[in-house]
Each structure stands twice: as structure tokens, then as C-alpha cells.
Amino acid sequence: MRKTTGNIVGQFFGGLNCYLRRCMFAILSVGPVPSHIAFIMDGNRRYAKKKNMEEGDGHKAGFNALTSLLRYCYELGVKYVTVYAFSIDNFKRKSTEVQSLMELMRKKIEELLEQESLINEYGVRLHFIGDMKLLTDPVRAAAEKATRVTAHNNQRVLLICVAYTSRHEIVHAVQECCKEKLNEVQVSKEEKITNDAFSGIDQGLKGNDFDLLSQDSCKEYRNAIKACSTEVECAARNDGLFENNIGNHISNDTEAETTLYNGLVELTEERKDIQDELPVIKLADIEKNMYMAVAPDPDILIRSSGEARLSNFLLWQTTTCPLYAPTALWPEIGLRHLIWAVLNFQRHYFYLEKKKKQS
């Protein structure tokens, strides 16, 4: 009897809490609502020490906090949420801890795909951001499956940064740009060489009344080449001719200098033309090849545990993004922190929009 009564009371207060939360979100929605919020989930291990928990239990508590915050964000109307789940620098930790985190990540990714999960409730599409080759095979397989299964969802987007640092992302984008531009240069050169070759052959054959489709013309072409080769060999054996040419060159230094100058001018102009033809890597090219190109830049960046630093996270995308750093550890972060961050965003909204247009 007591258990049944407790369940009814729990359901009542749970429903009341949900109703009040939706009322607060309705009031917040009167102002500008951020379309993208990013989270740095910091403080899981410190939370475990604070609560005298085992080492991995802090990360499990952190996942529960993430689930709650995702629900709050999606109820508010935020379309994009990005979380910093695992940095490339985290691979420097103890191997047992890294392996434990990889296993926990695999389990949580599989839980996200369950029928009753938040992902299916809100139609969330998953993107895994980072260098997937650095992950263990089971985690990479789970991430690829989650990406594939949720590819048809278009209501909300969750970006999970694993094996990620911002510097690695920038280097990757530049490398991809260089590959693209190199391919463009090679294709352009091949097309130019092919066109010039066909044009030269066509002009040469037409000037000599040759037709490649005619066998007689082909025979005449081969005979002409043999005749020219014989004449060149005879001229090369004529020493007197070479001696006369050498004397003419020695007596005409001024003409040689003029010819050399003209050749240098032509070479300089040719190099200038080549430089003009080289493709240039532009800002849009780099942004197109970023891992985070699938989402707009964040409107708010929230980092738990009171640390006011980015830790190599979204350095490129957060130039005009406000940072909110509550002192609460990640498993302790809740609804009040999210509401306060959104209120601060709304208070500075027009100033931030002005900065975005100037950048």
C-alpha cells in the first residue's frame, strides 16, 4: 500500500515538475533562443572523489546529467547540442582508465539507440566529431552504427566530440584543403597538356596537308621525319658550318645580350601567369573541411567546475561565443545552470550579433 502511494506521489510531483519546467521554457522562448549550445563536461573524477565513489562511477553520474540537460535543451527548442566527451589528450591517461572509458562509451552509445531513449523521442541525429581512427574497434563500430541508424532524423542534432582537439581539427581541415587544391592543379595541367598536344598535332598536320585517317598521309609523315633526320646528321658532320656559327656568335655579343634579356622577360611573364593560375586556399575552404561543418557555430559554451578555459575545444568556432562556467561539477549541473546561461545569452544577444557581423 505504501509503495503504491509512493509511486502515485512520485508521478504527481514528476508531472508537476515537468509542467513548471515547460512554463519557464515558454517564458524564455519569448526572447531569442540559442540554436546551438556546447558543453565541456568537466569534473566527473572530482565528483567521484567528493562522494567517495569508485573511479568509473563519476563518469556514469556524468552521463545521467548529460541525459537530463539534453532533455532540457530540446524542450527549450535548442536544435544543436555539442558535448566534449573525450579529448585526444585523454589517451595519455592510465591505460586501464582509458580502456574503462572506452567500454563505458560503447555501452552508453548503445543505450542511446534504445527504443525508449531520448534520441528516438526527439528525433535526434547523432554525429561523432573527431579522428575516429584513434578509437578502439568496438567504440568505432558502435559510433558508425549510431550515425547510420539516426541519419534519417532531422528534428534535433547531437554532436559528440571523441578523439578530438581543436588544433587537430584545424590541421585536418588544412590538409584536406591542400589535397583538394592539388587535385585541381593536376586536373588543370592534364587538361591543358591534352588540349595543347591535340591542338599542336592538328595544326601541324593541317599545315602539311596530312590526314591521320589516310594511310597515304601517315606514310608521307614517316618519310618526312626520316628525311629531316638525315639532313640533321649531315649538318652535324659539317665542321666548317659549326666554326662559322661560332665566329658569328663571338662577334655579336650585343645581340646575344639582347636575346638573353628578352628570354628573361618572357620567363618572368610565364612564371607570373603560372602564379595567377594557382588556386588559393580561402576561409570558406577551411571551414568546409572542418569536422564541425555539420553545425553552425555555438551560441553558448558551458563548462562545468568553474574552469574558464577552453581546453583545446572549438577554438575556431567560439570567437564570438560567450563562456559560462558555473562552479558545479558536471554531475551536479542542472536546470538552473542552463536557465541562467540562456538568460545571460539573451541579455547580450544584440551585442553578440553585432560582433558576429563584424567578424
Read off the pLDDT of residues 167-216 as tens digits, 9 standing for 90 and up: 999 999 999 999 999 888 888 777 777 766 656 665 655 555 555 445 55
Winning range, highest mean pLDDT, from 152-156, 211-215, 252-256, 261-265: 152-156
Q: Which helix (H) or strand (E) holds 354?
A: helix 349-358
Residue 252 has a pLDDT of: 55
pLDDT digit string, tens, across residues 217-252: 555 545 655 555 565 456 555 545 444 544 454 455
Comparing CA positions, the residue from 311, 304, 310 lying closest to residue 336 is 304
Choose the weakest-confidence range: 1-10, 209-218, 331-340, 346-355: 209-218
Winning range, highest mean pLDDT, from 201-205, 254-258, 332-336: 332-336
Choose the weakest-confidence range: 96-110, 125-139, 176-190, 318-332: 176-190
Specify whether 42 is catalytic. Answer: yes
More confident of the two residues 59 and 9: 59
Q: How far apart are CA 183 and CA 196, in angstroms?
A: 20
pLDDT classification of 253: cutoffs 50, 70, 90: low
pTM of the prediction? 0.75
CA distances to 165, 316, 358 from 320, rounded to whole Å, are 19, 10, 10
More confident of the two residues 1 and 20: 20
155 Cβ neighbours under 8 A, 6+ residues apart: 79, 122, 123, 124
- % of the chain surpassing 90 pLDDT: 59
Q: How far apart are CA 97 and CA 92, in angstroms?
A: 10
Q: How far apart are CA 41 and CA 59, in angstroms?
A: 10
Residue 297 has a pLDDT of: 96
Task: Please give the grid coordinates belonging to residue 83.
Answer: 558535448
pLDDT classification of 126: cutoffs 50, 70, 90: very high
